[in-house]
Amino acid sequence: DAGVIQSPRHEVTEMGQEVTLRCKPISGHDYLFWYRQTMMRGLELLIYFNNNVPIDDSGMPEDRFSAKMPNASFSTLKIQPSEPRDSAVYFCASSQTGRMNTEAFFGQGTRLTVV
């Protein structure tokens, strides 16, 4: 497997525009996580899914953020409208039920810059 794949790797957009980040988890993994990393706040869990169903979205900062997982191999994180304070690196990760040590496999991240 190629690992968790995120696209795009870099995104620069203007304030007010809609941004969509994409993630393909590792095949067979039933958990998917979206994290945001900033210098000020470190790594924050935004939302996670189990079997394509959102389980906990308490980390989503505002209604401007939304995430979907239409099938087991694809998820999106959308920001509409985007603001400069949304600038961060967004990571997607996946893991598999039944593994006692629950290792999370991370994608390479999307660096978002909102100007």
Partner 1 sequence: GEDVEQSLFLSVREGDSSVINCTYTDSSSTYLYWYKQEPGAGLQLLTYIFSNMDMKQDQRLTVLLNKKDKHLSLRIADTQTGDSAIYFCAESKGSGGYQKVTFGTGTKLQVIP
For tokens 């087991």, name the residue: 72
Say if CB 65 and CB 79 are below 8 A apart: yes
In the bound state with partner 1, the residue whose beta carbon lies nearer, of 17 and 102, is 102
- The 4-33 contact track toward partner 1, x by CB under 8 A, reads x--------------------------x--
Q: Minimum distance between the CB of residue 16 and partner 1, rounded to whole angstroms? A: 28
Q: Minimum distance between the CB of residue 111 and partner 1, rounded to whole angstroms? A: 9
Residues near 67 by Cβ (< 8 Å), separated by ≥ 6? 34, 46, 47, 49, 54, 57, 60, 75, 76, 77, 78
As given in the structure block, the two tokens for residue 69 are: 């997982």
Residues near partner 1 (CB under 8 A) are 4, 31, 35, 41-43, 45, 50, 91, 93, 97-98, 100-104, 106-109
